Amino acid sequence: MNSETIPRFPPHQYGSQADARHKQGFRQVTYAYMMENFFGLLKSELLYLQDFDSLEHFKTELIDYLDYYNNRRIKLKLKGLTPAQHRYQTLQIA
């Protein structure tokens, strides 16, 4: 798709529709980026570092990795908190 085929919405005619579509498209791009980032980390931190003997072994390691990723991994972007601590802190403020 090039700039010639992208629908244009004059602000005076379709302002709220254009804003809503722009925000929805931005969220989709953001979610896609977040998922690509997560799967890249998953591959480099789990899949490429070990061989799995069975599907059950893989499931066990994946569950352990997800627990680490969500509950024990310290992130500088989150001011040195784990994602779980950050979510809890954010909910306490709201």
Q: Give the pLDDT confidence score for residue 54 in this predicted structure.
A: 96
Radius of gyration for the chain, computed over Cα atoms and rounded to the nearest angstrom: 20
Tell me which of 59 and 19 has the higher pLDDT.
59
**Structure tokens that stand for 61 in this block:** 């390691």
- Give residue-wise pLDDT tens across range 9-56: 555 555 566 566 666 666 777 888 889 999 999 999 999 999 999 999
Contact 83, 71 (CB under 8 A): yes
Report the distance separating Cα 26 and Cα 28, nearest Å.
5
Report the distance separating Cα 6 and Cα 11, nearest Å.
15
